[in-house]
Homo-oligomer: A and B are copies of this chain.
């Protein structure tokens, strides 16, 4: 099955794994320790991350060191980046908006914009 980076980063646990591994390479168990779900579940997430190239493994004895391959994020980065022209149009100050995000980001709101 051909995995896709967009699908890989859609899962919040996989994003957390990426964040962890961006700090340092870790063995599978070291990754699993950071989460509440079972080790096999983490193994599956790592497999998915590996299938789209975002994580590679360096076997060392019975352990496997998991390493992030951040360059695999570039296609997703570029896809999103092409829309910055659009969002910059509507936001007077981009820097200011980012600052707002950092504080208001997770508030709930009603996005629905229609009448019925």
Residues of A bordering B, CB below 8 Å: 2, 4, 6-7, 9-10, 12, 15, 18, 22, 50-53, 56-59, 64, 68, 70-71, 73-81, 83-84, 86-87, 90-91, 97-98, 101, 105, 108, 111-116
Contact yes or no, B113 A58, CB < 8 A: yes
Residues of B within 8 A of A112 (CB): 50
Q: Are B70 and A86 in contact (CB under 8 A)?
A: yes
- Could you say which of B57, B73, B83, B111 contacts A56, with CB atoms under 8 Å apart? B111
The answer to whether B74 touches A77, judged by C-beta atoms less than 8 angstroms apart, is no
Q: State whether A86 touches B15 (Cβ < 8 A).
A: no
Sorted nearest first, the 8 A-B pairs with minimum C-beta distance are A70-B86, A10-B10, A71-B87, A56-B113, A70-B87, A70-B83, A53-B111, A77-B80
